[in-house]
Amino acid sequence: MSMASASVQRGIALFQVLLMTAIFSMLLLLMVASVQQHQRQVQQLLDASTQQLALYSAANTLSFALLTEEWQGPDSGEQAYGWNFYSYPFDWFVPASSEGSQDNHSQAVVAIEARLQDLNGLLDLRFPSPLHQQWLQQQGIDSLSASQMVNTLRDAQRSEPAARLPFAAPGFHLQHASEAIALPGWQPMADSQLWQYTRVLGDEFNYLTAPDPILAALLPPAQFDILRQWRQQGRVDRFRFSELTGIEPDEGATFFASRELIMVLRLGQQQRQLQLRIDAGADIPVLIRQQHRGAR
């Protein structure tokens, strides 16, 4: 009996050792997995912070370049330095880090996807027109609803009390493009659509810098297809545009990009979007009117 009892005791002890070993092994694996998860989270935060710093650097250097460089070539009228002002992407390079060589030619750089949009190339919500209706239809709004939306936009901003909508105070004007969503019938429009294609600031409409969805509503399809191909090839200038479309700059239209711009910068999953005014002669040369940042 004593030998059998001793054997049982040894078996129990061995089982306890194996059980404790298994428990410690599981705890160790859980700790390793937790540490690895924290490392991944820290690395993700570090990557996002690094990308945001690169976007801030890109915004600063691109703004400085816009302040100090000519925006167009001297002869052809083409945009200089690969820039364009109708939201087509181009690469803008910034140093990968502030450490290392002071020689900019040997320092590593990172390419930022940049877009510039002349505010005057967008539809001015203060002055509704048939072009607004055509653009709304391009966005998937039926003809009747688009017409009613344009009329509502016009009525809301009239100065005559009899013509103004009931909720519109005297002298009412939109202060931000997204406010249009509060108007009757405008709810189907997304805030992002209004941000990209409409404005409540600026001067005369700029045909040359209008983004593709607006030009598609403005031009015959054959002309628009040619112009879009030119834009993709970087061959658009004011002379070719006038020759193709027959549109000439006059007192109601201009072909030169204004000082009011939208700048969109993207790197990885991070994005920074600014509406700003660039004016080297102003007290505040770079005036940021609005900005948004975060993951796209």
Portion of the chain with pLDDT greater than 90, in percent: 36
Domain ranges of the chain: 1-125+200-296
Q: How many residues does the chain have?
A: 296
Spatial CB neighbours of 174, under 8 Å, sequence gap ≥ 6: 125, 126, 157, 180, 200
Give the per-residue pLDDT at 263: 96
Give the per-residue pLDDT at 100: 39
Portion of the chain with pLDDT greater than 70, in percent: 85
Once rounded to an integer, what is the mean pLDDT over residues 99-126? 77
Per-residue confidence at 102, pLDDT binned at 50, 70, 90?
A: very low
Once rounded to an integer, what is the mean pLDDT over residues 20-41? 84
Question: Does 251 or 47 have the greater pLDDT score?
Answer: 47
* 112-133 as b/e: b if 16+ CB within 10 A: bebbbbbbbbbbbbeebeebbb
Largest CA-CA distance found in the chain, in angstroms, rounded: 114
* 259 neighbors 105 (Cβ within 8 angstroms): no
Which of the listed ranges 40-44, 165-169, 270-274 does the model predict with the highest average pLDDT? Answer: 270-274
**245 CB neighbour count, 10 Å cutoff:** 18
Once rounded to an integer, what is the mean pLDDT over residues 87-94? 93
Per-residue confidence at 44, pLDDT binned at 50, 70, 90?
A: confident
197 pLDDT more than 70: yes
* 124 neighbors 132 (Cβ within 8 angstroms): no
Instruction: Render pLDDT for 154-186 as a digit per residue (tens, 0 to 9).
Output: 887 775 555 555 555 555 677 888 888 888 889
The whole-model pTM stands at 0.77
Q: Distance from CA of residue 107 to its chain's centroid?
A: 28
Task: List the beta strands (DSSP E) in the chain.
Answer: 90-95, 109-118, 123-124, 198-199, 260-267, 270-278, 286-295
- Lowest mean pLDDT of 7-11, 227-231, 234-238, 268-272, name the range: 7-11
Question: Does 165 or 102 have the greater pLDDT score?
Answer: 165
Strand, coil or helix: what is 273?
A: strand
Once rounded to an integer, what is the mean pLDDT over residues 43-48? 76
Give the per-residue pLDDT at 1: 52
Question: Does 77 or 295 have the greater pLDDT score?
Answer: 295
Instruction: Render pLDDT for 123-151 as a digit per residue (tens, 0 to 9).
Output: 999 889 898 999 999 888 999 999 999 99
**Which two structure tokens, joined as six digits, stand for 289?**
């009117």
Specify the amino acid at residue 40.
R
